[in-house]
Amino acid sequence: MNILLLEDDLILSAELCRFLESNNFTCDKIYDGETFLRQIKNNNYNLYLLDINVPKVNGLDVCQTIRSFDKSTPIIIISAYGDISDKKDAFTRLADDYLVKPFQFEELLLRINSLLRRKATSDSSDQDIIRIDDLIINKTEQKVYRGGNEIALTLKEFQLLVYLAEAQGRTVSKQQITEHVWEHNFNTNTNTVEVYINFLRKKIDKDFKIKLIHTRSGFGYYLSPL
């Protein structure tokens, strides 16, 4: 289980990561919100721990940004701010839990394990539905909706969209797409991937202000409302 920690207190962040790693988690630590948001683009994490008062982008804004494209990964706010108004603000931005500093590390561990169990239960019951912003992908029925309207896709377009969506905002290369969507059954020197990306953009993004399918020049493509 991978955890990403946003905490600008160098001593606390190091102690927290050591504690989590001693309890069989991996823990990456980031000290400012801007770097944190870049980090989650290309990595998979099972849970986020966010301090509020950090440089560049505060933890509440980070939480809100995450929720714009990821509705399900658990988020715990860890903050010295203990007023009910601060907690209300965090939960309004769809944080899952709030822990006031100073706290016992064991209590944090209990809350982490509780949220991860709940997430696993939710995933097992909703594993065939992918939601990203106002895009809904039903893998069982092979249907796609955006803004409440069904979008007709060919089989390959659907498979490509599912692969991009399941990457959860990470960039995937053309080579990775050919391996997973076409299974090497076509000439990788062609522009087939680019053509199908353009097909998807016309159907998924053209009529919407928020674009979901993005190109990362020199690396590949990713699906995110950012």
DSSP annotation string for 52-112: SS-SSS-HHHHHHHHHHH-SSS-EEEEES--SHHHHHHHHHTT-SEEEESS--HHHHHHHH
Residue range(s) defining the domain that contains residue 153? 129-223
Among 89, 108, 123, the domain-final residue is 123
Among 88, 123, 158, the domain-final residue is 123
**pLDDT value, residue 124:** 55
Q: Are residues 139 and 199 in the same domain?
A: yes
H-helix or E-strand spanning residue 10: helix 10-22
Q: Are residues 15 and 115 in the same domain?
A: yes
Split into its structural domains, the chain has a count of 2
**pLDDT value, residue 155:** 92
- Write the CB contacts of 42 (distance below 8 Å, at least 6 apart in sequence): 170, 171
CATH number at residue 143: 1.10.10.10
Q: Are residues 119 and 175 in the same domain?
A: no
Per-residue pLDDT 10s for the chain (226 aa) are 899 999 999 999 999 999 999 999 999 999 999 999 999 987 889 999 999 999 999 999 999 999 988 888 999 999 999 999 999 999 999 999 999 999 999 999 999 999 998 877 666 555 678 888 889 898 888 899 998 889 999 999 999 999 999 998 899 999 899 988 987 665 555 588 999 999 999 999 998 888 999 999 889 999 998 7
Q: Are residues 97 and 180 in the same domain?
A: no
Q: Are residues 111 and 133 in the same domain?
A: no
Q: Are residues 133 and 112 in the same domain?
A: no
